[in-house]
Amino acid sequence: MAVKVLVVDDSGFFRRRVSEILSSDPTIQVVGTATNGKEAIDQALALKPDVITMDYEMPMMDGITAVRHIMQRCPTPVLMFSSLTHEGARVTLDALDAGAVDFLPKNFEDISRNPEKVKQMLCEKVHSISRSNRRFSGYGSNSTPAPTPAAAAVSPRASSAAPTPSRPAPAAAPARSALPAAHAHAAHTSASTAHPHAAHSPAPKRKAYKLVAIGTSTGGPVALQRVLTQLPANFPAPIVLIQHMPAAFTKAFAERLDKLCRISVKEAEDGDMLRPGLALLAPGGKQMMIDGRGAVKILPGDERLNYKPCVDITFGSAAKSYNDKVLAVVLTGMGADGREGARLLKQSGSQIWAQDEASCVIYGMPMAIVKAELADAVYSLDDIGRHLVEACS
């Protein structure tokens, strides 16, 4: 059965081109178009598409407001189009908070210059997020997402009462609002729908870890926010984050996390040193490695590699530098990036955790870890932050 798509954009040219690209795939059907957010809500209710592609800047109602209403009234996977600017990154992150599943750069030059590449990328994204559609079933007009974390005016670090590592204070508004209602429900799905390992995972193994390494892709910005806002300011281990994301986005994402979290978060730079309570985010378009002194090396992105940054590369360097003293976590995402790096970590004696299927937006990367029998534990997204504190305390 073809994936039904609603295309939303105020540009007639862009609506036509996106519709043409999607319609060239026989397994995708464009069932309608809309020129603004209000039309998008009406069309979503009437047509019940499997996926919605959404522009941000539109008359009458912008894309983020439309996403919030759609998640309340007829939750549907949304793919946002965004500009490759700092402001575009901020807006896209707001859209992900509101409930969008993934995003693509809105680049007219690429459509003209590389039509086949754009077609492949767009159609793959639509197919992948359509498979997350089951996570949006069973929601009616009573589903109201929590307020967006962007509304939080004060960083949690401003609080003078930092929680102790053994018993972190619950991350208030930011952590709860990080997951839209439709996604949050997945964490409460019955055990029968989750991966069987999830129900039998042991309590975290406590150890003096020298590094926590977290890799993720589709659904990762929201998932990372959910995990990191649960960590206390005095979290005892250094953290590295590898999120598949364009170069223009990672600085804005790191700044956002830094405002919301008790720990410090920054985009990694060459020569940065690992330290407890600091999370370094791999810069988009490049590769991040760690040496035995705890120094970060930022290398140019290799065009032969699909992912820039690549989880496998960072995990592999961590295995070489820290042997059995790494706790690696693989969160939601498409594909299998992280599996081979996790294999090297496992061979060195390090611990590997995977996010469970029920709480993933896309159960690709964690599934690759579980299927390769590399996971020491499989945890729900809501439990990972708490378990990190327990394991590293």
Which residue is catalytic, options 217, 317, 350, 380? 217
pLDDT at 370 over 50: yes
Rounded mean pLDDT, 111-138: 76
Please tell me the number of Cα atoms within 13 Å of 206 on its side-chain side.
7
- Nearest residue to 257 via CA among 171, 318, 329: 171
Please tell me the number of Cα atoms within 13 Å of 353 on its side-chain side.
26
183 labelled catalytic = no
Percent of the chain whose predicted confidence (pLDDT) is above 90? 71
Structure tokens at 80: 């946002």
Which residue is catalytic, options 69, 185, 244, 387? 244
C-alpha span between 278 and 235 (Å, rounded): 8
C-alpha span between 386 and 229 (Å, rounded): 10
Q: How confident is the model at residue 161 (pLDDT cuts 50, 70, 90)?
A: very low
- Nearest residue to 393 via CA among 283, 280, 276, 309: 276
pLDDT at 147 over 80: no
pLDDT at 58 over 50: yes
pLDDT at 124 over 60: yes
* Least confident among 49-53, 163-167, 282-286: 163-167
Q: What is the pLDDT of residue 356?
A: 96
* Least confident among 81-90, 255-264, 381-390: 81-90
Is this model's pTM higher than 0.75 or not?
A: yes
11 labelled catalytic = no
DSSP strands (E only) in the chain: 3-8, 28-34, 51-54, 78-82, 102-105, 211-216, 239-243, 264-267, 278-281, 286-290, 296-300, 326-330, 351-355, 377-379
Instruction: Return residue ranges of the chain for CATH 3.40.50.180.
Output: 155-392
pLDDT tens digits, 101-120: 999 988 756 666 777 888 88
Which residue is catalytic, options 9, 337, 382, 383? 337
- Which amino acid makes up residue 308? K
Q: What is the pLDDT of residue 141?
A: 34
Q: Kindly report the average pLDDT of the chain as a whole number.
A: 84
Q: What is the pLDDT of residue 78?
A: 96
Give how far the C-alpha of residue 232 lies from the chain's centroid of Cα atoms, to the nearest Å: 21
C-alpha span between 4 and 28 (Å, rounded): 6
pLDDT tens digits, 291-342: 999 999 999 977 788 899 999 999 999 999 999 999 999 999 999 999 999 9
pLDDT tens digits, 220-232: 999 999 999 999 9
Exposed e or buried b for every residue in 166-194, given b needs 16+ CB within 10 A? eebeebebbbbbbbbbbbbbbbebeeeeb
244 labelled catalytic = yes
Provide CATH code, domain 155-392: 3.40.50.180
pLDDT at 38 over 80: yes
Better-predicted residue by pLDDT, 167 or 14 = 14
pLDDT tens digits, 245-292: 999 899 999 999 999 999 999 999 999 999 999 999 999 999 999 999
pLDDT at 196 over 50: no
**What secondary structure letter does DSSP report for 303?**
T
Q: What is the pLDDT of residue 200?
A: 56
* Least confident among 18-27, 177-186, 383-392: 177-186
- Nearest residue to 56 via CA among 98, 118, 117, 112: 98
Exposed e or buried b for every residue in 334-363, given b needs 16+ CB within 10 A? bbbbbbbbbbbbbebebbbbbbbbbbbbbb
Q: What is the pLDDT of residue 114?
A: 75
C-alpha span between 286 and 34 (Å, rounded): 37
Provide CATH code, domain 3-136: 3.40.50.2300
Q: What is the pLDDT of residue 184?
A: 38
C-alpha span between 321 and 310 (Å, rounded): 17
Which helix or strand (DSSP H or E) is residue 72 part of? helix 63-73
**What secondary structure letter does DSSP report for 245?**
-
Q: What is the pLDDT of residue 85?
A: 82
C-alpha span between 87 and 328 (Å, rounded): 31
**What residues contact residue 241 under an 8 Å CB cut-off, 6+ apart?**
214, 216, 224, 265, 279, 280, 281, 282
**What residues contact residue 119 under an 8 Å CB cut-off, 6+ apart?**
21, 24, 25
pLDDT at 68 over 60: yes
Q: What is the pLDDT of residue 202?
A: 79
